[in-house]
Structure 1
Amino acid sequence: MSLRGVRGLVLDIDGVLLDARSSYHAVAEEAARRAIAPLVGEAQARAAPFDRQREVPAFKATGGFNDDWEMSRAIALLLYLRARREAPDLARFLAEAGGRGVTALYAKYPVPIAPDGIARICGALYGGSMCRDLFGFEAKDAVPDAPERGMWENEEVLPDSRLLAAVAARFPLALYTGRNAGESRLAQRLCRLKIPEELCWVADGHRPRKPDPAGLLWLTHALLRRAPRPSQVLFLGDTADDQAASRAAQDAGAPIIYAHIEAPGDTTRVLSRLLAETGDALA
């Protein structure tokens, strides 16, 4: 599909702008192990098998696990069942979620793992010394041995920095993310972006979350408000929930082109193609 009509970009953050494998994904596994330790013992919690490089992408491809803290709850349940040798294989476990994420899994396996407890562990491990700024509490109040260095410091920018700057200079940008406002500002700092707050659809506890397309529809309208017709928005996402939100928005008539990011180099490839097709390719 041609990108010549694109007049604005909607960007997910994790997996699109930033590599979250050594931050959020590592946090999700570590928090899950800590959460089940009181139930199965520290040794069993540490010994339960989990292949993060293979299994986290399977969660993300299933739908319903866009939120990494909720994914951590699902991982905790899976590890608990594995520690007790009661777990189905991963494909069946995810199929049991039925696209409804962690809620469906805990309905089938009512294990007493508190969601608020896991969320606080995740926040402490991710935020470190910045935990209060990001999540409103001190890391050591949730995790007494929390390191000062939060796992956010492991994040690396995925697209070429010069390319990203060129795209930001050429097109209006918006963020459509499961991060909260503080996490989103941190991501912008790492990426050297400055996107208006009103164009950042973040998780604030009130707004509809992916795969609900409400945020994507709102951002598309905002980006194209003054654009000539016909114009389109290019949305870069990387999860099943991103795909579902895009399809729903397209079905509602939104002029959206969706680009699915699967590998670390894909964001650079898509942005390079965008500049090439709109006559702004970098030398």
Structure 2
Amino acid sequence: MITLSPRAEELRPQLKAILFDMDGVLLDITQSIRVANILAVPFFLRERLGWPVGDDLITSEDIEKFKNAGGFNDDRDLTCAIVLHYIVRGHENPTASPETLSVLQPNLTRYAARIAQRGGGLKAAEDLALEHFTREDKFDIEIQYRKKEISQIFLELFAGEHSERLYGKPAAYYTGPGLVNNDKVIIDPALIPAGRALGVLTGRSREETQFGLELANLIEAIPEAYRVTQKEGFYKPDMRGLKLLLERVGGGPAIYIGDTLDDHKTVARLLAKIPDAPVLSALVLTGPMGAANTGLFKRSGADIVAEDVNEVLRWIAG
């Protein structure tokens, strides 16, 4: 199954560069990053704040609502936003259990929707969560809302025994095996058409990207100069990361293959800034929500919606 726009068909013979997101495109991260998102929230609440909460507090569907709100390409920010929601709800309802807090209004669904209305991202989430509190209340909440710890717990759950290689220091809070060991390769490198420049635009760090490309057997195919990561400081849907990558690979026509609405928005914002930029947006259904995103992606305006990256590669090859 592949859905194509007329513009996609027009540019296909001219494509000079294939640009990839990593998570959900090159690698199936359903049992790694997505699980780290789910587990980091109750881990922090339980282990650092002493809340009586189990690992089933939130679901993958909850995480996806924040992804669709936009501005959460960095999974650490997403984790912080959800932790903050629970801390705020706990401050307002000090005798309620964490499970009760999950259903009290405004719940996570409403919180994510209101974040989307404000443009998405952690700053919007923080402003929304804290705006109606007094200075004293904010102080009490912020004592518990320790973003560095929350972020570190997410990273350690993901990396585990690889923490020193990926982040330069051993894990401090979580000492079990890393969920990164559950990553699975999606892309078949043999399907990549010859003669195209290959690049990666990802929210991963440089070291995480290196780790992932090694697993996908693409470390030689995508040189470091053609990897735009956290190091460059651009977070999707900021189009500047894509613009930089296009410049590095020698320009277009190009296709950017992602698995979230922010991936498409990145291309859309570049086209809004540079209307004649020859860049196609492709969305694949191998992110954690899989085919459930079909309708959403088709309505997004993406040039291509496909089952996976390999289907897109076959289409490029003709």
TM-score, with length taken from structure 1:
0.84
Deviation at 1:40, TM superposition (A): 6.2
**Aligned match of 2:106 in 81, 88, 110?**
88
**Aligned match of 2:181 in 153, 170, 183?**
153
Q: Which amino acid aligns with 2:183?
A: E
Change beyond 3 A, Cα 1:91–1:125:
closer
Write the mapping of 1:85-164 to structure 2, written as runs, cut at 5 A: 85=101, 86-97=104-115, 98-110=118-130, 111-112=141-142, 113-139=145-171, 141=172, 143=173, 145-147=174-176, 149-159=177-187, 161=188, 164=189
Instruction: Give distance in 2, aligned partners of 1:10 and 1:172.
Output: 8
Instruction: Give distance in 1, aligned partners of 2:236 and 2:168.
Output: 24
Equivalent in the alignment of 1:237? 258
Deviation at 1:172, TM superposition (A): 1.3
Q: Which amino acid aligns with 1:122?
A: F
Q: Which whole-Å deviations, capped at 9, do the CAs of 1:19-51 have from their partners, x for residues lacking one? A: 1121111111211112222676442x2277322
Q: Which amino acid aligns with 1:108?
A: L
Give unpaired runs (5+ residues) of structure 2: 1-7, 90-96, 131-140, 291-306
**Aligned match of 1:199 in 216, 220, 226?**
226
Residue identity over aligned pairs, in percent, reads 26
Equivalent in the alignment of 2:284? 261
Give unpaired runs (5+ residues) of structure 1: 226-230, 277-283
Change beyond 3 A, Cα 1:167–1:91:
same
Write the mapping of 1:205-244 to structure 2, written as runs, cut at 5 A: 206-225=232-251, 231-244=252-265
Change beyond 3 A, Cα 1:197–1:58:
same
Change beyond 3 A, Cα 1:41–1:254:
same
Contact conserved, 1:28 with 1:75, CA < 8 A, in 2?
Answer: no
Equivalent in the alignment of 1:11? 20
Write out the 4+ residue segments of structure 1 that deviate beyond 4 Å after TM superposition. Answer: none
Instruction: Give distance in 2, aligned partners of 1:78 and 1:4.
Output: 48
Instruction: Give distance in 1, aligned partners of 2:161 and 2:47.
Output: 26
Equivalent in the alignment of 1:246? 267
Residues matched between the structures, number: 261
Contact conserved, 2:74 with 2:235, CA < 8 A, in 1?
Answer: no
Change beyond 3 A, Cα 1:156–1:99:
same
Deviation at 1:87, TM superposition (A): 4.4
Deviation at 1:216, TM superposition (A): 0.6
Instruction: Give distance in 1, aligned partners of 2:154 and 2:148.
Output: 10
Equivalent in the alignment of 1:280? none
